[in-house]
A and B are shown apart, each in its own frame.
Chain A
Amino acid sequence: MHINWEHVLTIFIASALINNFVFSRYLGLCIFFGVTKRMETAVGMSFTFTAVMLVGAALNWLIYTYVMVPYQLGFLKIVIFIGVVAAFVQAADTMMKKMTPALYYKLGIYLALIVTNCIILAVPLINADEHYGLFESMALALGSGLGFSLALIIMASIREKLELADVPKSFQGLPISFVLTGLIALAFLGFSGMITL
């Protein structure tokens, strides 16, 4: 199989910066606003997310390419992708609990949040729509994961400072976070045009 490494790299960078899931595709907002109150949770979530995303994308790519496409089951992709991710997360949860209780204690709570998250599901759906190969799918997953981690960490560091700021009462909490996200999105707009996908 011929692999176009240049394309793989392009997808990786584009998905991390230009089409950043939070700032230009608007996905994963629930978790984005939920876990960025503290830096520690943001970092924990970033690790878990990127790992699950990578494995989920690979598993779904295998199933999509070798089962769904040959048997023309493409219309079942929503059901199957969500099933695969849920099953994998459940398995990872059980295994982590048995094998590395220390790690489970740290990251286990995030696993439960992940199952029905839109980003985890969006990655295989985009891969299927764009007919990406295995390496391209992995690049998209890794890029999106790192891009999401970047977004979480930026936001968490700002929100820790925000605690000390004097925000109008009606804007406290979510509203001001939205406005902040808008400002970061504006900065990320500068990345567009860096690579043409």
Chain B
Amino acid sequence: MTNTNYGTIFKNGIFGENPVFRLALSLCPAVAVTSGVKNGFLMGVAVLFVMTMVNATVSLIRNFINPKVRIPSYMFIIATWVTVTDQVMAATQRAVYKDMGLYIMLIVAFAIVLSRAEMFASRNKLLPSIVDGASMGLGFLLALVLLGIFREFLGKGSLWGHQILVVDGKAVKPLLIMILPTGGFFAMGFMMGFLNWIDRKFFGGTGSGGGAH
């Protein structure tokens, strides 16, 4: 790849192969931590960091890694960066970490991180790999924030912890179910269905995103 088109890589990560809505990979945290925008955002940032660092590391030492043990090596690199993220989060974001510490640690089991390391970073130079990791992470972050806004607004009538819907000085919670587990699945299902509909209606796609992994 000599003429690397960064724009294409970037667009691919955010829209074309959005990890959550299009590839339907790494769904667990997408449903689990999006009961609030803030949690979704911080989770997205954690994933963005891990993916960028993993792609950078794998790309840097791609010629050093023996192909026979490449998967264990990638796993180890991922686990290292997840540990780093976990430690930093635990030290600086105490309140959020109490809620979603487990999901931060489980970034290590994200199919999307491993698949980008294997499919992109191991074959490309440093800079394109970083861009790929960052845009995939950004796509993930956007999806989480979108779900977070949808769920927190409907479930609690607030955004980022600030009450927005207030009637007669009392907080209004329009659809409490949206912050329960059920709401997470509903939000995800409707969001996917909606995006498929847009894809079919306006872009002439097949509208069958999400191949179930």
Contacts and interface: CB of A to CB of B under 8 A. Distances in A.
Direct contact of A and B (CB under 8 A): yes
A185 interface: yes
Interface string B175-204: 001001111111011101110110010000
Contacts of B109: 82, 116-118, 120-121
A171 B196 contact: yes
A86 B182 contact: no
B163 interface: no
Interface of A is mostly: helix
A23 interface: yes
Interface of B: 24-29, 31-32, 72, 75-76, 79-80, 82-83, 86-87, 101-102, 105-106, 108-109, 111, 114, 177, 180-186, 188-190, 192-194, 196-197, 200, 207-210, 212-213
Contact of B28 (A27, A116, A120, A168): A27
Contact of B192 (A23, A26, A29, A178): A178
A78 B76 CA distance: 10
Given A78-B82, A170-B207, A33 B212 contact: yes
Given A176-B189, A178-B185, A182-B182, A121 B75 contact: no
B182 A186 contact: yes
A5 interface: no
Interface stretch (A52-60, A100-108, A122-130): A122-130
Given A26-B181, A182-B183, 11 more contacts: A27-B32, A30-B28, A78-B82, A122-B106, A129-B102, A168-B193, A170-B193, A170-B197, A182-B182, A189-B180, A189-B181
Nearest to B207: A170
B118 to A, nearest CB: 12
B46 to A, nearest CB: 13
B27 A78 contact: no
Contacts of A79: 76, 79-80, 83
A189 B177 CA distance: 11
Give the one of A30, A79, A175, A179 with max B CB within 10 A: A175
Interface in A35-75: 37, 75
A172 interface: yes
A28 interface: yes
A25 interface: yes
Interface in A162-197: 168-179, 181-183, 185-186, 188-189
Chain A interface category by residue count: 35 or more
8 contacts: A24-B181, A77-B105, A118-B106, A170-B200, A175-B192, A176-B189, A176-B193, A185-B181
Contacts of B87: 75
A78 B190 contact: no
A78 B181 contact: no
Interface string A81-107: 011001000000000000000000000
A1 interface: no
A126 to B, nearest CB: 7
- The 6 A-B residue pairs whose C-beta atoms are closest, nearest first, are A178-B189, A182-B185, A174-B210, A175-B193, A179-B189, A26-B32
A116 B181 contact: no
Nearest to B34: A26
Contacts of B194: 170
A106 B154 CA distance: 45
